[in-house]
Structure 1
Amino acid sequence: MGSYPESTVPRFSVEVYQNEYLPAGGREVNAIVTVTCRGGTGAPRASARTREPGGGPDAAVVIMVDCSGSMQYPPEKMRNARDATAAAIGALRDGVAFAVVSGTHQASEVYPGGGRLAVADAGTRAQAVHALRALSAGGGTAIGTWLRLADRLLSSAEAPIRHGILLTDGRNEHESPESLHATLEACAGRFTCDARGVGTDWEVKEVTGIASALLGSADIVADPAGLAADFTRMMETAMGKEVGDVNLRLWTPVGAEVVFVKQVAPTVEDLTDRRTEAGARAGDYPTGSWGVESRDYHLCVRVPPAEVGREMLAARVSLTAPPAGDGTSETPARGLIRAVWTDDMAASTSINPQVAHYTGQAELAQVIQQGLDARKSGDWGRATAKLGRAVHLAHAAGNEETAKLLAKVVDVVDVATGTVRLKRDVAEADKMTLETRSTKTVRVKK
């Protein structure tokens, strides 16, 4: 691990929660896997992407600021964006490579310029804040161009942690959805990106789609005055990342197949289609960068049917991260998922509490999206049914924040049955906040 003492190296652990018992002929095995990262120095460790001391930064960040014409209405929105970017720059750790990009229908470098990154210290932070005075609103919106420039800048640093922060206030109207999709596919795995929508004139699915593809967070800042605090929190979180490019590796035996792999806490994110093969019967699922934190994953594996009394290893879970040398290696953290066939009906029909909790949380995110989409299309009957189901699930899981957001969109008649009435007049910010935060979950008490 370079020159880091062993005690400062981040340590991963894996815990598996499941009911391993299946009835005769049963095939689907479900498990919740909790991955925790502890310890560390509070700064990225040495890795394949870092050079020897003095040779390169340990992290790189690019801040992308929407400067399209709509950012001048109201006038304070652009000022708030400048203040927020300045606050984020102020939260940069010394030694971190960084740049600021202005985004319209094209992307341009605000600081430092010349297709390069600056290295954060008191002087460069002050220069960057001064350069923000040049930010002004005018032009269209083509977010893919911003991301492509950020990718070029970040790749020049060869840092183990590569992160973007993106702010937009409008819809991506000056490039095709296909072009943005292609950009996200090209950037996936190269850097993570947090995306924020300010005001209420942007498209939720665009912003959340960007964050999802690039394994970052998405949120709404309905009042531009709240941007500085939000940007500061985002940058502080990014500065706490210590290990980049961590993969969840899943090995399954002959005859078994992976049904799905989903992150279920702190947010719901389906990773199933992001698998890359990693040798015989093993696949890697990207999880992005890690600091001191814990996340939960729901894994479902389909095994060959067997008779009562048989048992097998259904899957083995491990983690991979870039080591100090070249290539990628597994960490010592591992977990085993088992299948045991029994004729004990009580054992085989019992649902593990963690699996049940997160199955409900994943459904909650889905029915909120379905309910809001139905409301937009004028299908009030479907919207009422879906959002009523969401109310029931939110209360059952103890997800108080989502329950509060739902209460701004519906009048709750009966929580137990999910009986609600749609509110006729709902603030656009309340609908967008519910949609943007619909994938946020609460953890089950273990």
Structure 2
Amino acid sequence: MANFSKSNVPRFSVDVYQNEYLPEGGREVHSIVTVTSTGGGTTGGLPAPAAAVVVMVDCSGSMDYPPTKMRNAREATAAAIDTLRDGVAFAVVAGTHKAAEVFPGGGRLAVADAATRARAKEALRSLEAAGGTAIGTWLRLADQLLAPADAAIRHGILLTDGRNEHESPEDLRAALAACAGRFTCDARGVGTDWEVQEVTGIASALLGTADIVADPAGLAADFTGMMETAMGKGVADVALRLWTPQGAEVRFVKQVAPTVEDLTGRRTEAGPRAGDYPTGSWGDESRDYHVCVRVPAAGVGQEMLAARVALVLPGRAGGAPTTLAQGLVRAVWTEDMAASTSINPQVAHYTGQAELAQAIQQGLHARKTGDWDSATAKLGRAVQLASASGNADTAKLLSKVVDVVDAAAGTVRLKAKVAEADEMTLETRSTKTVRVKK
């Protein structure tokens, strides 16, 4: 383990968990990299970093059904505004088939204080439900508003209640590609008429969180929690940098806790044999990453450094990057079968959690398409994995979709009738994991 501290950023540490022993001819090295950040945000006694936030509120016509939905959205946005600390730059955007500035207007951000918070909440009264849904336009306006802000933390909160019907999927993908790396964004679907993959896709692309708020009455508490988390961030744009030796290749890099997120395809080159994987912004928190490296074959008794894992903060104005923490992944070849066949508990646990997420998604897809046998098998496997790993929250969500006959064996029966909110909640939260018991 290594760590590094700088006066104006949280302290980071890296712990590597692996079985470093390979049999003769073995080439695949797995490790779980635990990254922990402490002393950041508003809790560590450091000055809070400059932050800018844009709240995007769905104001499409469907937000009027029922009429309480729009009122709940206004109240939730007001609660989020109340949670802003003084000095944070912010704006509110109304989203329909186009994006409109609600507050402060004029293509700029306001600076939070008692007066601007009061004026912003007054401006929310003008929010009315009418029009369609083109989420890409909302994101592009948020990007335009956040771009000039001299803020380390740039964050969006997006609420939608419907499908993205007034622009093409390509338009949304292009908007996400344009915004990726420029700000993070939490996305929420309210009610049950929205598309899970759209909302989770937005959060994934912009390194934020996704969730369902099935009952609009729960929006205020959810928005407050999201804004509190955003206000607790201490540093942004942190990259997980992987260096591998000559002849080695990175098979995959996945975040596996608190949620499963495959980062493999997001690599950007960072010098000879090194690549950066984005992790977004950090407060006081800990996350786990599963790193798999394929190394050149070697003989018994040989050992090598399979990878160096570092947390890196990019330099300001083209300056040199700062290494916040680093850890080492090793490979040692042995003829001791007991040593080389042992699976590290952390690696085993998170391999199961990643399979759990996949089994849920495949099972629900099979259920929607009427493939009952496949749905039963996949959701049964999900129940088995959730039970074995102690993922009680996911097990509880699964029990609303299947009748569990034997959790340990994965024996289930599909329920004939499932509430849409229960099915969508399970799908939206399928990537949430539990941490391995140390």
Q: What range describes the TM-score normalised by the shorter chain of this pair? A: over 0.9
Note if 1:341 corresponds to 2:339. Answer: no
Which residue identity does 1:419 align to in structure 2?
Answer: T
Note if 1:388 corresponds to 2:411. Answer: no
Distance 1:73 1:399, change over 3 A: same
Contact 2:41-2:49 at 8 Å conserved across structures: no
In structure 1, runs of 5+ residues without a counterpart are 47-52
Q: State the distance in 1 between where 2:357 and 2:6 align.
A: 40
Superposed CA RMSD in Å reads 1.7
Q: State the distance in 1 between where 2:420 and 2:252 align.
A: 34
Q: State the distance in 2 between where 1:363 and 1:327 align.
A: 41
Q: Please, which of 221, 226, 232 is the counterpart of residue 229 of structure 1?
A: 221
Q: State the distance in 1 between where 2:125 and 2:44 align.
A: 31
Q: State the distance in 2 between where 1:324 and 1:187 align.
A: 20
Partner of 1:40: 40
Q: State the distance in 2 between where 1:233 and 1:412 align.
A: 33
Q: State the distance in 2 between where 1:322 and 1:292 align.
A: 20
Distance 1:346 1:400, change over 3 A: same
Contact 1:14-1:334 at 8 Å conserved across structures: yes
Q: CA deviation at 1:9?
A: 3.8
Contact 2:181-2:206 at 8 Å conserved across structures: yes
Q: State the distance in 2 between where 1:162 and 1:418 align.
A: 43
Q: State the distance in 1 between where 2:405 and 2:44 align.
A: 50
Q: CA deviation at 1:88?
A: 0.2
Partner of 1:26: 26
Q: State the distance in 2 between where 1:187 and 1:19 align.
A: 39
The correspondence of residues 52-67 of structure 1 with structure 2, limited to 5 A, is 58-67=50-59
Distance 1:332 1:138, change over 3 A: closer
Q: CA deviation at 1:324?
A: 6.4
Deviates more, 1:391-400 or 1:319-328: 319-328
Q: State the distance in 1 between where 2:114 and 2:316 align.
A: 30
Partner of 1:195: 187
Which residue identity does 1:355 align to in structure 2?
Answer: V
Contact 2:312-2:324 at 8 Å conserved across structures: no
Q: CA deviation at 1:428?
A: 0.2
Q: State the distance in 2 between where 1:421 and 1:295 align.
A: 35
Q: CA deviation at 1:326?
A: 4.7
User: Deviations along 1:287-308, whole A, 9 cap, x unmatched?
Assistant: 0000011000000000001111
Q: CA deviation at 1:7?
A: 5.6
Which residue identity does 1:257 align to in structure 2?
Answer: E
Q: CA deviation at 1:265?
A: 0.3
Q: State the distance in 2 between where 1:302 and 1:190 align.
A: 32
Which residue identity does 1:26 align to in structure 2?
Answer: G
Distance 1:75 1:156, change over 3 A: same
Contact 2:41-2:233 at 8 Å conserved across structures: no
Q: State the distance in 2 between where 1:149 and 1:9 align.
A: 29
Contact 2:9-2:234 at 8 Å conserved across structures: no
Note if 1:103 corresponds to 2:95. Answer: yes
TM-score, length basis structure 1: 0.95
Which residue identity does 1:196 align to in structure 2?
Answer: R
Q: Please, which of 165, 172, 177 is the counterpart of residue 180 of structure 1?
A: 172
Note if 1:130 corresponds to 2:86. Answer: no
Which residue identity does 1:230 align to in structure 2?
Answer: D
Partner of 2:366: 374
Contact 2:49-2:235 at 8 Å conserved across structures: no
Query: Percent identity at matched positions?
Result: 80
Which residue identity does 2:37 align to in structure 1?
Answer: C
Aligned residues: 434
The 3-state SS of whatever aligns with 2:34 is strand
Partner of 2:111: 119
Partner of 1:140: 132
User: Deviations along 1:51-82, whole A, 9 cap, x unmatched?
Assistant: xx9xx980000000000000000000000000
Partner of 2:256: 264
The 3-state SS of whatever aligns with 1:110 is strand
Q: State the distance in 1 between where 2:178 and 2:9 align.
A: 31
Q: State the distance in 2 between where 1:342 and 1:33 align.
A: 23
The 3-state SS of whatever aligns with 1:10 is strand
Distance 1:332 1:8, change over 3 A: closer
Q: State the distance in 1 between where 2:9 and 2:182 align.
A: 23
Contact 1:64-1:103 at 8 Å conserved across structures: yes
In structure 2, runs of 5+ residues without a counterpart are none
Q: State the distance in 1 between where 2:150 and 2:374 align.
A: 50
The 3-state SS of whatever aligns with 1:320 is strand
Q: CA deviation at 1:159?
A: 0.9
Q: CA deviation at 1:134?
A: 0.4
Which residue identity does 1:129 align to in structure 2?
Answer: K
Note if 1:154 corresponds to 2:167. Answer: no
Q: State the distance in 2 between where 1:41 and 1:214 align.
A: 20
Q: State the distance in 1 between where 2:212 and 2:92 align.
A: 21
Q: State the distance in 1 between where 2:208 and 2:155 align.
A: 9
Q: CA deviation at 1:445?
A: 1.4
Distance 1:16 1:127, change over 3 A: same
Contact 1:9-1:45 at 8 Å conserved across structures: no
Q: CA deviation at 1:331?
A: 2.3
Contact 2:39-2:45 at 8 Å conserved across structures: no
Q: CA deviation at 1:40?
A: 3.1
Contact 1:43-1:242 at 8 Å conserved across structures: no
Q: CA deviation at 1:107?
A: 0.1
Contact 2:70-2:128 at 8 Å conserved across structures: yes
Contact 1:7-1:40 at 8 Å conserved across structures: no
Partner of 1:15: 15
Q: State the distance in 1 between where 2:437 and 2:244 align.
A: 29
Q: CA deviation at 1:156?
A: 1.5
Contact 1:57-1:96 at 8 Å conserved across structures: no
Contact 1:8-1:39 at 8 Å conserved across structures: no
Q: CA deviation at 1:39?
A: 1.1
Note if 1:354 corresponds to 2:342. Answer: no
Partner of 1:297: 289
Contact 2:23-2:333 at 8 Å conserved across structures: yes
User: Deviations along 1:99-118, whole A, 9 cap, x unmatched?
Assistant: 00000000000000000000
Which residue identity does 2:19 align to in structure 1?
Answer: N
The 3-state SS of whatever aligns with 2:349 is helix
The 3-state SS of whatever aligns with 1:421 is strand
The correspondence of residues 206-285 of structure 1 with structure 2, limited to 5 A, is 206-285=198-277
